[in-house]
Amino acid sequence: MTTEDNTAQTVDLTNPDLYLNRDLSLLEFNWRVLQQALDKSVPLLERLNYMCISSTNLDEFFEVRVAGLIQQIEISDLYIEADQVTPQEALKLIKARAHEIVEEQYQVFNDVLLPELEQEGIQVLSRAKWTPEQTQWLHTYFLEEIAPILSPMGLDSAHPFPRLLNKSLNFIVSLIGKDAFGRNRGFAILQAPRALPRIIELPKEDDKTETHRFAFLSSIIHAFAEDLFYGMKVKGCYQFRVTRNSDLAIDTEETSDLLSAISDELTHRNYGDEVRLEIAHNCPALMVDFLRVQCGMEEDNVYLVQGPVNLSRIQAIYRLIDRPELKFKPFTQGLPGALSSNADIFTVIRKQDVLLHHPYQSFNPVIDLLKQAATDSTVLAIKQTLYRTGAKSPIVDALVAASKAGKEVTVVIELRARFDEAENVGLASRLQQAAVHVVYGIVGYKTHAKMLLILRRENNKLRQYVHLGTGNYHPSTSRIYTDYGLLTSDKQITEDVSHLFVQLTSLGKVPKTNKLLQAPFTLMDGLLSRIDREIANAQAGKAGHIIIKVNSLVEPTMIAAFYRASMAGVKVDLIIRGICCLKPGISGLSDNIHVRSVIGRFLEHTRIYYFENDGDHEVWAASADLMKRNLLRRVEACFPIQSKQLKQQIIDDLKIYLSDNVQAWNLAPDGRYQRIKPNKEALEICAQSTLLKQMAKTY
């Protein structure tokens, strides 16, 4: 027995000390996004954008993860992750780190971005900096555009503290004096409707200058709030915001109509339980305590912020300013060589598999395939899964056109794609009106697989064509998410996809798949068996190498398998964008494991599994991350890349990511990340920029 075998047997891989907390890991990802706002090599308005994204990410973290932990405590749910941290302990750890990140967000905004924006002629003016002329213009704007929409609410026994909309901008106003009915008013609440813009651009003072001046809606309301309370004096006006639990509570086992149940539940999303309270930092302690009590918040859940309570709304500046030099250079997406001519797309796929790498290569071939199928008289049927697409999409247009042309069109829509539920309800309604067969997948399992199947009659025989992807059928996100898509007519793969659609739409069992790995049935075991094969090869003196590129690594069974592989001498390279619960670099356990995260212009979204397999390399692409939900509670599809040329293309792409010394971060055993910096003699390698140069045209 080898030393590695002895070590593997003595290490308890269930030891909670071997696992990082998933929620803290997710917060660290958000911190890495925030660091992009400090990167001087990134255009200034893009840096502002990163700061806004970090704010949006943190909102969702509280709406889902923190809300979920609070619910676990309320219902005495004893489920805990592999690190054995209880929900109560997790909340304490989260609050400490979240407060640090929020403080840094506002420091970056106030002390770094605002001064640099001002140097570029982009001014976000505080009230103290308004000129008399600007004050007059803003006062008129307030009276004409803002005040008529506002409905201030004085608080008394007949007007209790209102139930505030999730993440809405609100103000607590301290008043002195009596109202028209002789009542003394202490506090009033003022809610700013979402219809009002959160940032307003002032008129240019000189058409010849490039200066842009903005004022926050909150600043305008602060300045002129007294106009809303005639005959009374405003002693103080302070903005605040409440974040609520936004997860939909739907019992899929009990409801008979999932579409109707989700539609009903969406109306309640904005009024879930409170999980966070943000208040202006200068709000008096008495009023802070009043708001905290009214919102049912513990002190740790209160965040006093030095600026607008919703940083993400500052993203409007990015959209309002046309300054190309302050944004990423635009680019034209490329095409694979096989599709660069105007050849019939079915003919191309019949001859060879085609790999698309977004956003460097265009998503249009997928749209064109559907459009051609919609009008092709030889196409009999189209089947597709849709997760995040939206009702207004060329994909949906093509499906509607195909149905109207008499094709048999079946669409499996996952209504429960978080925060896209309303879009998907609208999508389902539009498709049903076009006589498309719409189903909602399997009760208890989200349909996350990305599959398109086209059935065609050719020379009196039926032939199937398939698109499988790692990302959603969404043309817009295909320009900002990195994803792979495979177009193939391989008989065994198309047969597998056909069987998966039968499984999703019927109540029967389907035969064992030929080539695909499918969650929740064969994907996890298939990956584990390939890890075990690498271990066996290493123990036999052969080279073993695993490269995994996914969004998240949480599932403890998979983490334990990587630990076993490391102890056996297998080299394990993990490219994990977000959550990683594995601890790399621990002597005797994970010293052969290296974890990196790449944060750049595009959101890394590809899921790739590479196994060296003693020189007979295997490359798999999937819609699944290494999380319990993806492996055991979702319908996922993992497909092999069979063409030697395409397989090598992906391997080369992975090598570029592993060489990145510009946008990559290394994970340390304590869960913190350190940005990789090139040596003085080393060539700078940025994976995304390299791939952009290889496949797309920049301007």
Q: Are residues 415 and 435 in the same domain?
A: yes
Check residue 153 and give its pLDDT: 87
Residues in CB range of 353: below 8 A, 6 or more apart: 486, 487, 488, 490, 641, 642, 643, 646
pTM: 0.93
Of residues 98 and 204, which shows the higher confidence score?
Answer: 98
* 462 and 503 assigned to the same domain: yes
| pLDDT per position as a tens digit, 173-210 | 998 876 655 555 688 999 999 889 999 999 987 766 67
Residue among 661, 690, 603, 664 at smallest CA distance from 50: 603
Question: Does a structural domain hold residue 16?
Answer: no
Which residues of 408-449 form beta strands (DSSP E)? 408-413, 437-439, 446-447
* DSSP secondary structure code for residue 616 in this structure: S
Place of tokens 């068996």: 529
Question: Containing H/E element for 380?
Answer: strand 379-386
Of residues 325 and 3, more confidence is placed in 325
Residue 322 and residue 211 share a domain: yes
- In this structure, what CATH number is given to the domain that contains residue 236? 3.30.1840.10
The per-residue pLDDT for range 580-599, each reduced to its tens digit, is 999 999 999 999 999 999 99
Residue 257 has pLDDT above 70, yes or no: no
For residue 223, pLDDT beyond 80:
yes
The Cα 224–Cα 234 span in angstroms is 10
pLDDT of 425: 75
Asked if residue 255 has pLDDT above 70, the reply is: no
Return the half-sphere exposure (C-beta side, CA atoms, 13 A cut-off) of residue 62: 26
Weakest mean pLDDT among 5-14, 102-111, 612-621, 622-631: 5-14
Q: Which of 297, 326, 355 is where one domain is finished?
A: 326
pLDDT at 561: 98
Give domain status of residue 212, yes or no: yes
Tell whether 183 and 309 lie within a shared domain: yes
Same domain, residue pair 356 and 481? yes
Cα–Cα distance between 432 and 428 in angstroms, integer?
A: 6
Give domain status of residue 602, yes or no. Answer: yes
Q: How many CB atoms lie within 10 A of CB 505?
A: 16
Lowest mean pLDDT among 115-119, 150-154, 390-394, 417-421: 417-421
What is the pLDDT, as a whole number, of residue 184? 59
Crossing angle for the helix pair 22-35 and 87-107, to the nearest 10 degrees: 10
Asked whether residue 15 is domain-assigned, the answer is no
Domain range for residue 347?
Answer: 332-512
* 693: its two tokens: 């140069």
Q: Average pLDDT, whole number, for the chain?
A: 90
Q: Is the dihedral of CA 308, 311, 313, 319 positive or negative?
A: positive
pLDDT of 304-318, one tens digit each?
Answer: 999 999 999 999 999
The 3-state DSSP class for residue 29 equals helix
Domain stops at, among 494, 512, 530? 512
Which of 223-227, 420-424, 476-480, 537-541 is the least confident region?
420-424
* 254/403 same-domain check: no
Alpha helices in 225-340 (DSSP H): 258-269, 285-294, 315-320
First CA to last CA across the chain, in angstroms? 60
Largest CA distance in the chain: 91
Residues marked active site are found at 448
Q: Residue 107 domain-assigned? A: yes
Give the span between the Cα atoms of 350 and 487, in whole angstroms. 10
In a shared domain, residues 590 and 502: no
pLDDT at 443: 77
Q: Are residues 583 and 530 in the same domain?
A: yes
Domain boundary among 326, 352, 379: 326
Q: What is the pLDDT of residue 31?
A: 98
User: Residue 23: what are its φ and ψ, rounded to 5°?
Assistant: -70, -40
In a domain, 389, yes or no: yes
Tens of pLDDT, residues 648-693: 999 999 999 999 999 999 999 999 999 999 888 889 999 999 999 9
Report the amino acid identity of residue 498.
Answer: S
Radius of gyration of the CA atoms of the chain, in A: 28
**pLDDT tens for residues 231-240?**
889 999 999 9
In whole angstroms, give the CA distance from residue 367 to residue 645: 24
- DSSP-assigned letter for residue 693: H
Cis omega (within 30 of 0) on the bond before 115? no
pLDDT mean over 94-102: 97
pLDDT number for residue 182: 59
Q: Are residues 124 and 271 in the same domain?
A: yes
**Are both 275 and 196 inside the same structural domain?**
yes
Nearest to 608 by CA among 498, 527, 488: 527
Q: What is the pLDDT of residue 79?
A: 76
Q: For residue 11, is it within any domain?
A: no
Which residue(s) pair with 390 in the sheet?
none
Is 594 buried (19+), middle (13-18) or exposed (0-12) by CB count in 10 A? middle
Q: Are residues 293 and 343 in the same domain?
A: no
**DSSP SS3 for 236:** strand
Q: Taking the CA atoms of 675, 588, 656 and 467 in sequence, report the sign of the dihedral they define.
A: negative
Same-domain pairing of 465 and 534: no
Percent of the chain with pLDDT over 90: 76
Report the Cα 123 to chain-centroid distance in Å: 30
Number of separate domains in the chain: 3
DSSP assignment of 73-106 equals HHTT-----TT---HHHHHHHHHHHHHHHHHHHH
Where residue 76 falls among pLDDT bands split at 50, 70, 90?
Answer: confident
- 495 CB contacts (<8 Å, ≥6 apart)? 464, 514
Rounded CA-CA distance 437/414 in Å is 14
Q: Is residue 12 part of a domain?
A: no
Contacts 24+ apart (CB under 8 A), 47-51: 47/113, 48/113, 48/117, 48/314, 48/315, 48/317, 48/318, 49/315, 49/318, 51/105, 51/108, 51/109, 51/113, 51/311, 51/314
What is the structure's pLDDT at 75? 82
3-state SS assignment for residue 553: strand
